[in-house]
Amino acid sequence: MTAVVDKKLMANARLTALFDEGSLQYVASQVEGIGAVSATGKINGRTVVAFANDPSFQGGALGAAEGAVIVDAYAIAMKEQCPIVGIWHSGGARLQEGIGALKPFGDIFRVMTQASGKIPQVSVVLGPAAGGGAYGPALTDIVILGPEGRIFVTGPDVVRSVTGEDVDMLRLGGPEPHGRRSGVVHVVSDTEERAIADTRNITDLLGNQGLLDTSMITDVDMGALLPEQNNRAYDAHPIVDSVIDAGTGVELHPRWAPNIITTLGRFGGRTVGIVANNPLRLGGCLDATSAEKSARFVRMCDALGIPMIVMVDVPGYLPGVGQEWDGVVRRGAKLLHAFAECVVPRITCVTRKSYGGAYIAMNSKALGATRVMAWEGAEVAVMGPLAAIRILHRRRLAEVPPDQKDAVEAELAEEHKITAGGLPKCIELGAVDEIVDPTKTRTAIAAALKAAANPDGSFPRGNHGNIPL
């Protein structure tokens, strides 16, 4: 089969761009003259299977032949136990085949579900992914959206005729709705070439995880990244960047639920997942959306054997009627479930505070955290001392003259810190394992991960799929 070389990068050329130069080999069993193609090749020297819709053939619509190409590609990837990449650009089911075009989608969804948690699955959407073609990417671990990518179950014409809404493909299923509002897309790329490069990088992180090399770990003063005032908001991205090896981080869902950060990167050369509260957004509170976002990420890491580092600075769950109506109980439970079922090592570091139910949810020792460490001065409690004394001493405070109230509250808050026990009490109770210096955090995390590794340097992995129930 001869690759098509043009600036639109149709199926064959997209596969060529994905793989290491000279490594592409087309699957021999595929049929000529259909709207899908599959191949094996290398990404940074490691075997990967990929398939691509061919939009130059009937808009990349899927029928029985195209479905067979994708199902066969999955069979090869499962046999080789290697990552699989889907390059999506399809108008959906091939109408000419009628109801016969729907069965292939069911076959594809079944093999994707069977592969979930067993091999890494990465999707890159470079054109419309409509109808059943929208659910294909959604069933995979990571979804990358190119500048012309559009994901929707029902197209603009049908939406307009049924609901009267005047909408185009961009507003219906482009980077804004799926990168910021729905959470369908993990990474938005500004060019097609960048989307292919992002796909290569993420596939390498998931499929070529490497081994932890503690000799690569050097410490930095992470405490210097916090503001001087404990009640000041700050951006946690520099904290995340200081934990992982320089230049290796890929943030997933950066614009969806930005009050929590989920990042893939390398730590001592080994792929890790980072979960971090971001006090710059909503004060770092957990809410319904951020709980769901982080739960999906935690389950992916556990299923694929990726150890996790959890950087905690959380004041609690976001209160309000809107949160309760938005399902914070149901969706928050997903994060509890995700961490509680984990078998992959995950290290928690409390940098400033961890309060209430959010303390439990952010990979607490009670949920099975491998090791919990805290920086000197960090607070782990039911709630902040000021909020606590306003409840415990509300009658006394009601009698204090207004001009003395701030001073009395400050005094009571300091007394509460002492009586509550602080970090020494947490260590006594087993809620915290050790107090670490911010300048020694990376080496402390490395030691904890090394101690949790199998004798061959690998890590255990969960026996479940990726999408949380």
pLDDT tens digits for 155-184? 788 788 888 888 888 888 899 999 999 999
DSSP for residue 90: E
Catalytic residues: 131-132, 357-358
Mean pLDDT across 97-119: 89
Mean pLDDT across 336-358: 96
pLDDT of residue 34: 84
Expressed in angstroms, the distance from the first to the final Cα of the chain is 42
12-29 pLDDT, tens digit per residue, is 999 999 999 999 999 966
Mean pLDDT across 430-451: 97
Superfamily of domain 11-206: 2-enoyl-CoA Hydratase; Chain A, domain 1 (3.90.226.10)
244-268 pLDDT, tens digit per residue, is 999 999 999 999 999 999 999 999 9
The kind and range of the H/E element at 353 are strand 346-355
Instruction: Kindly provide the b/e burial profile for residues 90-123, where b requires at least 16 CB atoms within 10 angstroms of the residue's own CB.
Output: bbbbbeebeeebbebbebbeebbeebbbbbbbbb
Mean pLDDT across 387-402: 72
Residues 61 and 35 sit within 8 Å (Cβ to Cβ): yes
pLDDT of residue 410: 77
pLDDT of residue 412: 74
Question: How large a percentage of the chain has pLDDT more than 90?
Answer: 71
Tokens of 317: 């769950």
Domain 214-452 has CATH 3.40.50.720: no
Q: Per-residue pLDDT for 324 more than 50? A: yes
Q: Per-residue pLDDT for 362 more than 80? A: yes
Q: Per-residue pLDDT for 98 more than 80? A: no
**Burial level of 2, CB count in 10 A (0-12/13-18/19+)?**
exposed
Q: Per-residue pLDDT for 416 more than 80? A: no
Q: Which of 151-155, 158-162, 370-374 has the highest mean predicted lDDT (pLDDT)?
A: 370-374
Give strand pairing partners of 270: 267
Tokens of 305: 């054997």
For the chain, give every residue range classified as CATH 3.90.226.10: 11-206, 214-452
22-78 pLDDT, tens digit per residue, is 999 999 666 667 889 999 999 999 999 999 998 887 777 788 888 999 999 999 999
pLDDT of residue 38: 95
As a 3-state breakdown, the chain gives helix, strand, coil percent values, each rounded to 5, of: 45, 20, 35
Residues 178 and 337 sit within 8 Å (Cβ to Cβ): no
Q: Per-residue pLDDT for 93 more than 70? A: no
**What residue type is 251 in one-letter code?**
E
pLDDT of residue 4: 37
Q: Residue 420 — very low, low, confident or very high, per pLDDT cuts 50/70/90?
A: low
pLDDT of residue 394: 75
Residues 291 and 361 sit within 8 Å (Cβ to Cβ): yes
